[in-house]
Amino acid sequence: MAERIKRRYEPDRRERIVEVALDVIAEHGVAGTTHRRVAEAADVPLGSMTYHFKGIDDLLVAACTRLSQVVASRYREVLEAATTVEDAREAVVELICGGLWASKRNMVLSFELYAYAARNPKLKPVLLEWMGYSHSHLGRHYSPATARVLDAFIEGATIHNTASTNLISRDEVRAVVARLTA
């Protein structure tokens, strides 16, 4: 009689697969992310992929949505702690120079998100939601126009500091934020 393999009970398997998918995207890019790679990295049967996701696009949208939620949560946390205009300015400086984007993984994931969204209309709502979170949290302290400009500066400065050896210093960022929010 053949021995029956006992199935693992994992009520959070889908969420774990999404988290692991972010690691696979960071390592291999969107183009190199496959169900097989993610299943192997997550140590789940390949059939779990098609059980939890309609296709690779569904998995990629879920992973990008998760990244957006993590970033939005950090924005909220940093900006809610600000109680004065100066605190709010310093919060923006922290978003640019602090740990959120200091991780190469997070920067690579955001690059992948933007590139994928440019080519895949299914991801555009996720990207717009991400920008909406950012504008909303910045909007606690700034006008809508200023929040949009600050959001663009946050992204541009972090991209520059990730790719360049001539970093924009914390003091330079602070001076620009002060000018943008004067």
Residues 41-57 have pLDDT tens digits of 999 999 989 999 999 99
**Confidence check: pLDDT of 7 > 70:** no
Regarding predicted confidence, which is higher, 86 or 5?
A: 86
**Confidence check: pLDDT of 1 > 60:** no
Unique residue bearing structure tokens 């690779």? 56
**Residue 74, CA atoms < 13 Å, CB-side half-sphere:** 15
pLDDT at residue 119, rounded to an integer: 86
Give the amino acid at 126. Answer: V
The full DSSP string for 49-113 is HHHH-SSHHHHHHHHHHHHHHHHHHHHHHHHHT--SHHHHHHHHHHHHHSHHHHSHHHHHHHHHH
Domains and CATH numbers, the chain: 13-180 (1.10.357.10)
pLDDT at residue 106, rounded to an integer: 83
Contacts 24+ apart (CB under 8 A), 157-160: 157/96, 158/96, 158/101, 158/107, 159/107, 159/111
The sign one gets for the Cα dihedral 63, 65, 68, 70 is: negative
Question: Percent of the chain having pLDDT more than 70?
Answer: 93
Listed residue (150, 152, 130, 127) closest to 138, CA to CA: 150
Give the amino acid at 94. Answer: E
Confidence of residue 16 (pLDDT cuts 50, 70, 90): very high
